[in-house]
Amino acid sequence: MTKYLTIGTNQILADLHQPIRNGQIKPTGGLWATIHDPNYLNYNPWIEILSLHPHILFYKTLHRNPFLLPASLITLTDNANIFTISTPYQLEFLKKYYPTSDNWIDFEKLSQDFDGFFLDLDNIIKDLLPDDREKVKEFAVSTLIIFNLNAIKHYQEATVDIVPFDFEFENEFTEYQIIVDAQIKQISEKSNEFASLIINIKNQEPTNWPIPEDYITQKYDTLLSSFAENYKEKYHYSEPTETLKQLLARRISRSI
């Protein structure tokens, strides 16, 4: 069975799962992953991209060690409903039945009918017309985006251990190891505490229009800090408090 590696967290919590929102080309939200090849256990295509652009490590890991990246090895359920794009025909199908006004894919609508989306970049890119080829190249590697966490059967905590290098003088890194824990873990259920937090903030706002993440972070900094500390202790969440606050604010912003 194919397994997938997501980089950035080794604890998958339903409370922090971000709903899908359309972007110019790539959507935001969901859980992003790449295929984990059992024949090459210490190779990952997204880590290879990071190795060529290591500044992303420091941009994305402001509150933790950039050379130890948390990750999760994901196993999908047998009946996970994943729309796979590996041919131009499949891409045209999505553009026809899940269109945006600029002739691309409405991922928000797609997420209502499917558990996830897999782009087989390696197979499709050579057969595309130039305009579509430039768009799919934005994904950089073959990519799985999980819309619905119920599509995950279980996961295992993992770490990407990068051999430290001098970021100031070296433009790339070449050595890393992917360490996967043997323990099987299940996706957490949504907590009552987080539902109450959303209601609390929503009741303090005079409008139901989307509220920017930065606005929530600034206005409710004390509330988010207190909640994050209690949440980390109760659920043994290992991410730094500032990272958790950012994720909470983003999730709240998309829930109001």
**Model pLDDT for residues 19-32, shown as the tens digit of each residue:** 999 999 999 999 99
Which range, of 58-62, 121-125, 209-213, averages the lowest pLDDT? 58-62
Distance CA 121, CA 112 (A): 23
Q: Please compute the mean of the pLDDT values over residues 181-197 and round it to a whole number.
A: 91
In the chain, the percentage of residues whose pLDDT exceeds 90 is 55
Nearest to 33 by CA among 62, 2, 63, 57: 2
Residue spans of the domains in the chain: they are 3-180, 192-253
Task: State the Cα angle at 246 between 240 and 249, rounded to 5°.
Answer: 140
**What is the DSSP secondary structure assignment for residue 210, as one 8-state letter?**
-
pLDDT at residue 103 is higher than 80: yes
* Per-residue confidence (pLDDT) for residue 69, from 0 to 100: 87
Nearest to 29 by CA among 222, 193, 254: 254
Q: Please compute the mean of the pLDDT values over residues 222-234 and round it to a whole number.
A: 91
Distance CA 170, CA 162 (A): 14
pLDDT at residue 207 is higher than 90: no
* Per-residue confidence (pLDDT) for residue 190, from 0 to 100: 86
CB 217 within 8 A of CB 248: no
Nearest to 146 by CA among 250, 19, 254: 19
* Per-residue confidence (pLDDT) for residue 156, from 0 to 100: 96
Predicted TM-score (pTM) of the model is: 0.90
pLDDT at residue 123 is higher than 60: yes
Going by pLDDT thresholds of 50, 70 and 90, the confidence category of residue 84 is very high
Going by pLDDT thresholds of 50, 70 and 90, the confidence category of residue 220 is very high
CA atoms within 13 A on the CB side of 209: 4
Going by pLDDT thresholds of 50, 70 and 90, the confidence category of residue 212 is confident
What is the per-residue burial (b if ≥16 Cβ within 10 Å, else e) of 184-216?
A: eeebbeeeeebeebeeebeeeeeeeeebebeeb
* Per-residue confidence (pLDDT) for residue 59, from 0 to 100: 53
* Per-residue confidence (pLDDT) for residue 58, from 0 to 100: 61
| CA dihedral over 22, 215, 71, 63, signed as positive or negative | positive
